[in-house]
Structure 1
Amino acid sequence: MLQLADVLLSEHGLFLLLGVVLLYLGAESLVKGAAGLALGIGLHAALVGVTVVAFATTAPELFIGVISGVNGDSQLGLGAIVGSNIANVGLVLGLAALIRPLSVSRTVLRRHVPFMALAAGLLVVFGRDAIIGRVEGAIFLVVLAGFTVVLYRGASGESEAAGVDESGAVTDGGVVEEMPDVDPESVNLRHVVYLVVGLALLFFGSRWLMDSGRSILYQFGFSQRLVGLTVLAFGTSLPELAASVVAAVRGQADFAVGNVVGSNIYNVLAVLGLVAVVVPVFVSVSVESFDFPSLIAFTVAAIVVMLRGGEVGRLDGGVLLGGYLVFVYLLLP
């Protein structure tokens, strides 16, 4: 019988760890580059924060989803997306709330949370016939466009009230979302380098994480679905985990909560939408009977917690984190 320590210290284990590290570094580099370029060409910092940066943090899921779909392993991509959304609520939001209670802004409740619920609901409905095809993918992208319009109008309407400080940071009710330093009059070559390096790191990191994680877990009897829901989901959630934990430590509650909500929206509408347009995504019986209900349960739990008092407290964080550990335990073969 294979020993876990031996497997993790093997070549596959080392490439698995390297893949996770590259995914994290790639997402960080991509965020800096994309946000810097957007600000450099004149986009408002508030709009950049809720669109470019939010979408960039979902790049690991996008790479995993597209590559797995092209390789004929659509179960890996779907598992990574569903598992990542569950991890964002249970692990990321739960851990961040344990560090410091998180207040939830009215903007997130009124504009973002409804789209998070809609995205999860559409995913479950579209998956009931065992396949998410190009039509469903196109619908996801249309809803994404609607979400972007809502964000744009909201950011434009509140930009003066929110204010932008000299460093380009967006301030809203005392919360500061740090943005990269850029010259508004020109596009800095440094951000182009960040963007290119980030894309390269994401490509190699996603391939190594997929290949090594799949090889290791297959040896322990895991299926494609379980690989996607566990190691790939955790690996692709690392940027959100790091960002939300750091935000919680710094007292930037709005960013920590908005990061989770925004990521869950983009994971379904943008990532799965693009993947489904490229190649049909097949939904197994186990996904429909367990994974989708789990996604809905965590989504509803997050909404209930946010609506109740407008704060995610430490007790709420403990419950969410405990629920995620139970979810992972139930997945083990």
Structure 2
Amino acid sequence: MALRTNGAGVSLLVGVVLLYVGAESLVKGARGVSTDLGVRAAVAGVTVVAFATTAPELFVAVVGQVEKTTTIGLGAVIGSNVANICLVLGLSALVRPLAVSRETVRRHLPFMALAAVLLVGLGSDGTLSTLDGGALLLALVAFTAVLLHGVPDADDADGSGEEHADDGAVVADGGTGFAPPLGRLAAVAPRDLLFLVVGLGLLFVGARRLVDGGTAALYLLGGSDRLVGVTVLALGTSLPELAASLVSAVRGHADFSVGNVVGSNIYNVLAVLGVLTLLSPIRVPTSVVDTDFPVLLGATAFCVLLLVTRGRVGRVAGVLLLGGYAGYVSLLV
């Protein structure tokens, strides 16, 4: 028994490390490619980087789906979203209070709320069907369209018809935030592509080890699929978001910390679960409907209310978020 538990623990640790290293490599490559193609930093932060840090959830969920443990994938998404709001934002706010831009509040935050409401509304009948997945993917298309083609805020422009990225570089476009990328494909650095490929490979291997190790460890301790998904796997797959947000908070880039969480939560639901339901319908246990859904809605509502009314996440709010997460985990255990 002890030997099997130790083996599961080693597999779990290796999986977490590979996921973290893979996500870092993927983020670095994604950011490099976005820069090579002329994508402005503000859009890249909420799209490319947020989607890259969501890749661990996608890989874990897909591996779990292939292994016929669909509850693990669902639990990993819900648990990761709750951890992103309560744990990641909570810890980041303790490091430094987080202010958020008007663009994030007005254009990105509504989609995070929509994603949570859609998930709860579609899954409350006990199943996420292929049709439900199509609705999630349509919402993802709408979110992407708003990001890529929305009109920038007035304070983003310098009055010359050009828009400046966060690093001060000028991005030529017609109001979309993008330079024409097709003609710049040759400018993509091979090193950036290598980071992308290596990152994806490490994420796949790490996801498999994390699924195997986390499942074995909790099953040996009497845990359920739901507990595996919303605790061990959710925490492990939230490490990229946690690392990125903490580093951003330390360096004073608060809006990136918040944007990373908001974007990641949107992609977790709309992209990850949307893709999973295309593979096969997902059964939603009663325990998820009765406990996890209300917690997800509560955490999302608190985050939205906080950012809309105050425009920041202070240290007191950070403590409340961490306390809420501790209470949620204690309910599961």
Shift of 1:160: 3.7
Shift of 1:113: 1.0
1:119-169 Cα shifts (integer Å, max 9, x gaps): 000000110221111111111111111111111124766664462376869
Match of 1:27, SS state, is: helix
| Change beyond 3 A, Cα 1:63–1:202 | same
1:29-86 Cα shifts (integer Å, max 9, x gaps): 1112123223323434433332222211100001011111121111000000000000
Contact 1:120–1:268 (Cα < 8 Å) also in 2:
yes
Shift of 1:278: 1.6
**Worse-superposed segment, 221-230 or 183-192:** 183-192
Contact 1:41–1:185 (Cα < 8 Å) also in 2:
no
1:196-275 equivalences in 2 (<5 Å): 196-275=197-276
1:149 aligns with 2:145: yes
- TM-score scaled to structure 2, two decimals? 0.89
1:88 aligns with 2:84: yes
Contact 1:47–1:155 (Cα < 8 Å) also in 2:
no
Shift of 1:283: 0.2
Structure 2 equivalent of residue 189 of structure 1:
190
User: Which residue type is aligned with residue 203 of structure 2?
Assistant: L
User: Which residue type is aligned with residue 28 of structure 2?
Assistant: K
Structure 2 equivalent of residue 305 of structure 1:
306
Structure 2 equivalent of residue 174 of structure 1:
none
Separation in 1, partners of 2:43, 2:52: 13
Match of 2:124, SS state, is: helix
Separation in 1, partners of 2:270, 2:166: 32
| Change beyond 3 A, Cα 1:314–1:40 | same
1:265-292 Cα shifts (integer Å, max 9, x gaps): 1100111111111221110000100010
Contact 2:45–2:259 (Cα < 8 Å) also in 1:
no
Structure 2 equivalent of residue 173 of structure 1:
none
Structure 2 equivalent of residue 281 of structure 1:
282
Gaps of 5+ in 1: 171-182
* Percentage identity across paired residues of the two chains: 54
1:65 aligns with 2:61: yes
Contact 1:39–1:184 (Cα < 8 Å) also in 2:
no
1:77 aligns with 2:73: yes
User: Which residue type is aligned with residue 279 of structure 2?
Assistant: V
Separation in 1, partners of 2:70, 2:157: 44
1:105 aligns with 2:101: yes
Alignment counterpart, residue 118 of structure 1, candidates 89, 92, 114: 114
Separation in 2, partners of 1:262, 1:105: 14
| Change beyond 3 A, Cα 1:233–1:168 | farther
Contact 2:45–2:260 (Cα < 8 Å) also in 1:
no
| Change beyond 3 A, Cα 1:40–1:155 | farther
Shift of 1:184: 8.6
Separation in 2, partners of 1:43, 1:310: 26
Match of 2:238, SS state, is: helix
Match of 1:251, SS state, is: coil
1:129 aligns with 2:125: yes
- How many aligned residue pairs are there? 316
Separation in 2, partners of 1:324, 1:7: 30
Separation in 1, partners of 2:294, 2:42: 34
Separation in 2, partners of 1:169, 1:280: 45
